[in-house]
Amino acid sequence: MLRDLFVATRKGDLKVLQDIYGQNQRHVTRGLTFEGNSALHIATREGHLDVVKWLVSVKPCLAAARNSDKNTALHEAAKKGKPEVVKTLLKFNKYAVYRRNQFGETALIIASEHSHVEAAELLLAATPLFLVFWPREDRQTCLNTAAYAGHLDVVKLILGESRFCLNIMPFMLLIGDEKGVTPLHAAVHGGHKEIVKEILRPELNDWHKSLMTKKDKFGRCAIHIAAMKGHGDIIDLFMTSMPDCIEIRSTCLKTVVHFAVEYDQLSVFKKLLFENEGETNAKLVSYDYDIWGNTALHLAAMNGVDPLLVDYLLSFPGVKADLVNNKGLSPLDIALHAVSQDKPNFGNIVQRLKDHGATQSLVCHCRSESPPWKSQQTTNKTGIESKILDVDTLVASLIATVTFAAVFQIPGGTDKESGLASMSLETVFHVFLFSDCLAFFASMTVVIAWIFRERLQTKLVADRSALAKLSMVSFGIAIVSTCHGYLQVRL
């Protein structure tokens, strides 16, 4: 019986359905598939309007029934874009627009995501104003989903809703999802220029700055994403709406020029800089730093961009190629390290920087195994090790001073007649003398290695921490042997 009901519903055979209903009314309300879809779910999905009308008329409770994904028949109608079915379901159960499935989606969000304009229009008219703003579980509203998917008609429909006055609309446009992505960010991500133009409509001119400076969870504004993706036409729209948008900074203090260079977007870079005055451009290239002190040239050297882009960076009058970042590295240092790692495309960058007169910074002489701009953990480790070695050197110098003085202040003194050490025949004196000399020479080796650390790149310098430990142990033995000797004399 259930199989016959399922087949008849899929085919839209109303007569067979009525016969089955006459035999057993309970069959109509049961789930017919593994996903828990009722006859109304199936009829809605297939678009059989006459079957849908008959089912909700004899069993109105079916309009609120859910399957395993918690979708109602209205969700299915919105997904398939069946406006007549949507209208019928809303007539029998107007509260179905409140229902959310397991992903937190209302029927309006689903219709917006799938670009079903007619169904979305019906649902929008039936949805309360607060529910239009209501997001699904990933915090995306119906406007976010439509902007992501590039559905211009749906975006126009939502923004053109008569209930959205100019005091309400900007707040809807500023709502971000779980990643902080607003409808403007979403449209820029997909390169949907017409949607960007629709969002930056003239009547919202007073809100353009707020919309364009809104940051996502990664600290990026919409224009930064446009530079990353290479959407030069969208950047034109931004510069028309806000001429100084080129100076908008991200959370890590990067400008749109930084993003264009970092992601090797040559066309965007030329659009940003070669249409403005050279003095301003030289400032953007040389003196605009991010939070790590990197200029656009540093980012070009880090990411191995098109050498032609490096040529453009170096072509501005007054551009300085020798500026260092917070790690003390110049662009040439970074590019040379990449060349040493046999990375492609960096050799051309090195040559162009040298042709421009760029030089290495002092930090380049440290011969570090790993680049400090790539691993903060490695940098912290190196700094900690350096501090430990400095402390070891300080302790070694103190031990060298004490052990040298101990040679002239022999424990137990000297014999007045012979001038020899009074304890010269004792075993503990021999232990003292050996350990004192060992501690002195080990300490002096550590001190000398520290003084000439820049010149002596040898294993001896690397092992000075071990030598410092040796001197400490020897010094300790000398002290113990001295105390033991004194005890023997007194006893």
The CATH number of the domain holding residue 56 is 1.25.40.20
Answer yes or no: do 117 and 166 share one domain: no
Answer yes or no: do 96 and 139 share one domain: no
- State which of 109, 127, 145 marks the end of a domain: 127
- Per the structure, how many domains does the chain have? 4
Answer yes or no: do 241 and 310 share one domain: no
Residue 266 lies in a domain: no
pLDDT in tens, 56-83: 888 888 888 888 889 999 999 999 998 9
The size of the chain, in residues, is 491
Q: Strand pairing partners for 421?
A: 414
Tokens 């005890």 belong to which residue? 487
Answer yes or no: do 218 and 138 share one domain: yes
pLDDT in tens, 415-456: 666 666 666 667 767 777 778 788 787 788 777 777 666 555
Q: What angle do CA 109, 112, 113 make, to 5 degrees?
A: 85
User: CB under 8 Å to 418, separation ≥6 — which residues?
Assistant: none
Answer yes or no: do 218 and 307 share one domain: no
pTM: 0.67
Residue in 209, 220, 292 with CA at minimum distance from that of residue 245: 209
Query: Which one has a higher pLDDT value, 446 or 323?
Result: 323
φ/ψ (deg, to 5) at 414: -120, 155
Q: Rounded to whole angstroms, how far apart are CA atoms 467 and 453?
A: 15
Residue 365 lies in a domain: yes
Q: Rounded to whole angstroms, how far apart are CA atoms 312 and 358?
A: 15
- State which of 97, 127, 157 marks the end of a domain: 127
Structural domain harbouring 351: 277-374
Residue 163 lies in a domain: yes
Answer yes or no: do 415 and 468 share one domain: yes
Answer yes or no: do 360 and 390 share one domain: no
Question: Do the beta carbons of residue 271 and residue 286 sit within 8 Å?
Answer: no
Answer yes or no: do 118 and 150 share one domain: no
Q: Where does residue 119 rank: exposed (0-12), middle (13-18), buried (19+ CB within 10 A)?
A: buried
Residue 11 lies in a domain: yes
Which segments of 287-420 does DSSP mark as H helices, in order? 296-303, 307-314, 331-340, 346-355, 376-408
Mean pLDDT of 116-139: 88
Residue 261 lies in a domain: no
Residue 346 lies in a domain: yes
- CA end-to-end distance (rounded Å), the chain: 112
pLDDT in tens, 280-317: 565 667 678 899 999 988 999 999 888 888 888 888 77
pLDDT at 436: 77
Q: Cβ of 160: how many Cβ atoms within 10 Å?
A: 11
